[in-house]
Amino acid sequence: MFDQAAGGETMAEEVLSTAEDREIALIGKALSNPIRVRMLRFIGAQGAYCGDLTERFGLAQSTVSHHIRILKEAGLIEGEEQGTSTCYRVVPRRCEAVCRLISETLRGAAGLAR
C-alpha cells in the first residue's frame, strides 16, 4: 500500500480500485468468449428468448443457458419473464458504464489523462 503523502493511493482509493479491477475481470470473462459477444449483439438488436439463441447459434439449450448466466452475472443482460419463457435484453445503462470503466482503465494504463 502506498502513502498518500508520497503520491500513492489512499486505503479507500485502493479498495475502490480493487473493486473496479474485479468488475473489469468479471466483464472480461463475460466477453472472453466469441459466442457470448455474438449473443450480446444479437440480444441487443432485438431481445431474444433462449430458443431464439439455440436456433440462431446452433447450440444446445444447456450451452445457451450457461452463456446467458455469465452475461447476466456481468450485468450486461437481464431477463423478463413472459409466461413460461424469459425474454433477454441488454441493460443499456450497464453497458454504458462498462464502456466508461474500461475506457478509463485503458487510458490510465496508457498514461493518458482522464
The secondary structure of the chain in percent helix, strand, coil, rounded to multiples of 5, reads 65, 10, 20
Q: All 3 cell numbers of residue 52?
A: 431464439
* Residue 36 pLDDT > 70: yes
Cell numbers representing residue 26 in the block: 468479471
| Domain boundaries of the chain, sorted by first residue | 10-107
Rounded to two decimals, the pTM is: 0.75
Q: Which residues contact 29 (CB under 8 A, 6 or more apart)?
A: 70, 74
| Residue given cell 482522464 in the structure block | 114
Q: Output the average pLDDT for the chain.
A: 85
Query: pLDDT by residue (tens digit) across 6-26?
Result: 455 566 556 556 888 888 888
User: What class has domain 10-107?
Assistant: mainly alpha
